[in-house]
């Protein structure tokens, strides 16, 4: 496994591999790897000749009062996990390498960002889009792998690829969960024991909404009310940031569910903000029932 820190060396290495016909699978991360990341690596290995894993805590996607300085980091542990999973290259630049002119130029994202996490984190997805465009230009992947736990990020990546005409296939991957249903996240380590036990209820609340849809409910307001009531009733330590039901990946609001949709929530704990979601399709062949969507975004 190679460990590369410079843009110049990374770009040179990738060009050599692509010239020999190798397909490149790319897994962008901010490190502190967990089983969710490992699942992305595994899928990349199945589908591509070379797997590149980036580890970079991107400063431009953190707000002034967010956790950039305290975001969990452990590059030694990450390197060991990556090697065990069969990663071919780790790209681990520093901030000066990725932003040689500072923040003199950032991408502005106008669509799919004024809802969910984007509503309360202005500029967050501008930073996400900026760093991903840089990484796509450096690594030139054939396929890029993202976890659906952050479904809004997947929707933004889908928009980036289409808007900038990247010849990249987006592979969204199913959310990996603990046994009690909590979505795996690097931030889970910041939960107290009591918060950790309660946090599993986020997924249970979303499932209540899905159950209502399975029974034939299509009203967005009633589905949101169902999920919100469950969380308000059961959460003692966490504060609800939002509960939303939107089209996916467009992330548009509507009064009724008619096609692919997302039920999403965010809850703030003392030292960690957790997000979770369910993305699913309405299937007319199932006579009003639904089937869970976990595999892909159709190209349009």
Active site residues: 37
Other CB atoms closer than 10 Å to residue 177's CB: what's the count?
A: 16
What tokens were used for 220?
């967005």
Residue 37 assigned ligand-binding role: yes
Residue 286 assigned ligand-binding role: no
φ and ψ at residue 268, rounded to 5 degrees:
-95, 125
Residue in 6, 11, 5, 7 with CA at minimum distance from that of residue 140: 11
- The whole-angstrom separation of Cα 168 and Cα 159 is 12
Residue 186 assigned ligand-binding role: yes
Residue 35 assigned ligand-binding role: yes
In the three-class reduction of DSSP (H, G, I as helix; E, B as strand; rest coil), residue 295 is classed as coil
Look-up of token digits 């950039």 = 68
Residue 26 assigned ligand-binding role: no
Alpha helices by DSSP H, listed for 35-112, are 35-47, 75-85, 95-98
Q: How many CA atoms lie within 13 A of 218 on its CB side?
A: 15
Residue 39 assigned ligand-binding role: no
Residue 194 assigned ligand-binding role: no
- The whole-angstrom separation of Cα 253 and Cα 114 is 11
Q: Would strands 273-282 and 261-268 be described as parallel, antiparallel, or unpaired?
A: antiparallel
- The whole-angstrom separation of Cα 145 and Cα 172 is 6
- The whole-angstrom separation of Cα 24 and Cα 144 is 9
Residue 153 assigned ligand-binding role: yes
Residue 119 assigned ligand-binding role: no
Residue in 241, 219, 246, 222 with CA at minimum distance from that of residue 231: 241
Q: Would strands 50-55 and 89-91 be described as parallel, antiparallel, or unpaired?
A: parallel
Residue 126 assigned ligand-binding role: no
Residue 30 assigned ligand-binding role: yes
Residue 43 assigned ligand-binding role: no
Residue 56 assigned ligand-binding role: no
CA distances from 156 to 62, 128, 194 (A): 16, 9, 34
- The whole-angstrom separation of Cα 258 and Cα 288 is 10
Residue 185 assigned ligand-binding role: yes
- Binding site residue list for ATP: 30-37, 147-150, 184-187
- Binding site residue list: 30-37, 61, 147-150, 153, 184-187
């Amino acid at each position: 496994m190679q460990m590369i820190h410079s843009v110049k060396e990374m770009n040179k290495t990738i060009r050599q591999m692509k010239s020999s016909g190798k397909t490149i699978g790319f897994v962008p991360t901010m490190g502190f790897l967990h089983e969710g990341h490992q699942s992305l690596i595994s899928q990349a290995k199945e589908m591509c000749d070379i797997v590149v894993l980036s580890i970079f805590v991107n400063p431009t996607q953190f707000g002034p009062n967010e956790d950039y300085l305290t975001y969990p980091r452990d590059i030694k542990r990450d390197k060991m996990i990556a090697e065990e999973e069969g990663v071919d290259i780790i790209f681990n630049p520093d901030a000066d390498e990725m932003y040689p002119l500072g923040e003199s130029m950032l991408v502005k994202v106008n669509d799919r960002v004024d809802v969910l996490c984007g509503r309360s984190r202005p500029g967050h997805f501008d930073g996400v889009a900026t760093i991903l465009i840089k990484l796509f230009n450096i690594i030139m992947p054939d396929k890029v792998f993202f976890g659906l736990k952050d479904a809004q990020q997947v929707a933004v990546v889908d928009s980036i690829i289409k808007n900038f005409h990247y010849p990249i296939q987006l592979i969204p991957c199913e959310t990996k969960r603990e046994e009690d249903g909590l979505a795996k996240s690097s931030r889970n380590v910041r939960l107290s024991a009591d918060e950790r036990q309660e946090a599993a209820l986020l997924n249970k609340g979303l499932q209540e909404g899905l159950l209502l849809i399975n029974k034939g409910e299509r009203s967005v307001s009633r589905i949101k009310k169902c999920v919100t009531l469950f969380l308000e009733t059961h959460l003692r330590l966490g504060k609800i940031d939002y509960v939303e039901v939107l089209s996916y990946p467009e992330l548009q609001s509507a009064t009724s569910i008619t096609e692919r949709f997302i039920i999403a929530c965010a809850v703030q704990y003392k030292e960690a903000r957790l997000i979770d979601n369910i993305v699913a399709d309405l299937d007319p062949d199932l006579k009003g029932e639904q089937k869970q969507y976990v595999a892909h975004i159709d190209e349009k």
